[in-house]
Amino acid sequence: MKLFAPGLFALALAACAAAPQKPLVKNDTLYQRLGGAAGVEAVVDASLRQIHGDLRINLFFENTDLPDLRRLLIEQICAATGGPCTYTGRSMEEAHSGMNLTDRDFDIFVEDLVAAMTEVKVSPALQQEVLALFAPMRPQVVGQ
């Protein structure tokens, strides 16, 4: 009995060639699933709009350089979600030092972030993944 019929061998080779190659760039990161740079920028822009219109916390930002904050938030979220960015801002403790932020302030900030993500049509499942990245920062932000 012939083990390898030539036709079968050719078929096996063709199947190998057609098999999906391992991607060189990771394309299943949260960053990619949020829509890459444009997706992260949309989330940050919508969040800053929400915060700006939120009388409960917008006074904290009255002396803030908003274009700079926008750039740093984009970098931070891009890096934290597996995107090709490096966060160049201050540590969370340092950035929020002297503000004496409370748990309630933090909850309101998260509420605005959720409203922003809903506005730009981030799915509830992806929203949960983003919130899971932010939640551990609470002790670095509150009470500084």
Residue in 29, 45, 49, 61 binding ligand HEM, rule: CB under 6 A: 61
How many residues interact with ligand HEM (rule CB under 6 A)?
Answer: 19
8 A C-beta contact, residue 57 and residue 99: no
Helix (H) or strand (E) holding 44: helix 36-52
Residue with tokens 């699933």: 33
Q: What angle do CA 135, 129, 41 make, to 5 degrees?
A: 95
81 is an interface residue for ligand HEM by CB under 6 A: no
Q: Which of 47, 50, 76, 81 binds ligand HEM (CB under 6 A)?
A: 76
Scanning the structure block, which residue is given the tokens 């999906």?
Answer: 20
Query: Contact residues for ligand HEM (CB under 6 A)?
Result: 57, 60-61, 64, 69, 72-73, 76, 89-90, 95-96, 101, 105-106, 109, 134, 137, 141
